[in-house]
Structure 1
Amino acid sequence: MSYVACAVESGTLADDDEPAEVAWVRLAEIPEYVPYGLFEPVQAYLNAALSQ
């Protein structure tokens, strides 16, 4: 599993080499995908990076 903090600027995700599933979610939606919680340092980083 990979976590990335980003902002969509343009374009679409389309590449045959991409993972089987990709979900672009808001910070508040993460528990729907990871109900057991994120690794604490990852959660702290996302909280700081995405709450600005």
Structure 2
Amino acid sequence: MDDKFIEELREISRNDKRRSEFLIKGMKETLQERKEKTLSKDGFGDKKIRSL
């Protein structure tokens, strides 16, 4: 999660439903970024891993 995301999250009230939704969205984006980074690092990309 980047600094802009964290700053906006702090501005939203803890009791606000929007805060929960925003946090979930940010975590999903972070997970997707990590997956893409890992796939590109491993060189697999969109290729399916073949069984041995």
Larger gyration radius, structure 1 or structure 2? 2
* TM-score normalised to structure 2 length: 0.33
Q: Which has the higher helix share?
A: 2
Q: Which has the higher contact order (CA 8 A, sep 6+)?
A: 1
* TM-score normalised to structure 1 length: 0.33
